[in-house]
Structures are given as structure tokens and as C-alpha cells.
Amino acid sequence: MGKQKKARKYATMKRMLSLRDQRLKEKDRLKPKKKEKKDPSALKEREVPQHPSCLFFQYNTQLGPPYHILGPPYHINFSIKAKLDLVQSMMDCLHAKCIPCITDCVMAEIEKLGQKYQVALRIAKDPRFERLPCTHKGTYAGDCLVQRVTQHKC
């Protein structure tokens, strides 16, 4: 007769005492945390970024109609899916004349997206859209638009 094999117990672990257990000595126990009450009369300090005053209408006379609107390639595609005329819907939204502007990087990104965005490419080449040349390296449209907005502060 052979030796009987014992079944191995899985997921067993040693039982540990909680640090709040009554059986522990007083010095080994975890002290309960006391909540600090906040003083309502204390001044609350927070950092708020200071925006240049040229971004607000009352200080900047350049921010007026006709509006020049930079648009990423996905806005053009969204207007196609929603069956909206892009220029007309911009004018309806802002209640003023709008000139949509497309940078070289946006055009390059639309061309890179391929056949799915063929209609968006045809819309972007519309003569109502103003073309803006880019002088930086790379063709990522998001970086191009952010750089252009921060550079001109508008």
C-alpha cells in the first residue's frame, strides 16, 4: 500500500490580527485618527492662472466680426456626418460673418486620413475657406492649432 496523497489547499493565508484588535497590547495598537476641523474663517488660497487681458472682448478690438475660425479636421468630418453646411452653421452659431481658416497641417492630416475623409478634403478645398501657411516642422494638426492660438493670443 502506498502513501495517500494530501489535497493541496489553495487560497489559504495566514490569519493576521487587526491593529485595532482587543488582544493586542496597548502600545502595539493603532491609535484612531482624529479629524481636524477646518476653520471657516481661515482664508482659502488657491492659484488661478492669470490670463492676458487681450483675450477679452472689452480690451481687444480685434476680436470682432468677421470671425476667422480655425478648425481641426474632425470638425469638418463631423459636419458631414451631421449633414450641416459648415460655413452656414458657423454663421448661425455666432450671429456674424465667419471665415473658416485651414492650415497646411490640417490639410495634410486630412489627406493622410485616406479615402474615408475624401469628402472632408473636398470641402476643405472650398474657395470660401482661407488657407494659412505653416512654417514649423511636423504636420500634426493639434499642435499646429495650439501653437497658432498661443502665439497670437486670440
Asked if the structure places residue 4 within a domain, the reply is: no
Encode pLDDT of 13-34 as tens digits.
Answer: 666 777 777 787 777 776 666 7
Q: What's the whole-number mean pLDDT along residues 91-99?
A: 88
Q: Residue 78 is part of a domain; what is its CATH number?
A: 3.40.50.1010
Asked if the structure places residue 26 within a domain, the reply is: no
Asked if the structure places residue 114 within a domain, the reply is: yes
Asked if the structure places residue 12 within a domain, the reply is: no
Collapse the DSSP code of 21 into the 3-class scheme (helix H, G, I; strand E, B; otherwise coil) and give the result: coil
Structurally, the chain folds into a number of domains equal to: 1
What pTM, to 2 d.p., does this model score?
0.55
* pLDDT at residue number 1: 61
Asked if the structure places residue 73 within a domain, the reply is: yes
Asked if the structure places residue 78 within a domain, the reply is: yes
* pLDDT at residue number 42: 67
| 62, pLDDT greater than 70 | no
Number of Cβ within 10 Å of residue 109's Cβ equals 19
Angle at 86 between CA 85 and CA 90, to 5 degrees: 115
Q: Quick one: CA dihedral 36, 39, 45, 46, positive or negative?
A: positive
| 118, pLDDT greater than 70 | yes
Which residue range(s) make up the domain with 73? 64-152
d(CA 88, CA 69): 13
Encode pLDDT of 30-56 as tens digits.
Answer: 666 677 777 767 666 777 777 766 666
**Contact residues for 130 (Cβ-Cβ < 8 A; gap 6+):** 68, 99, 100, 101, 102
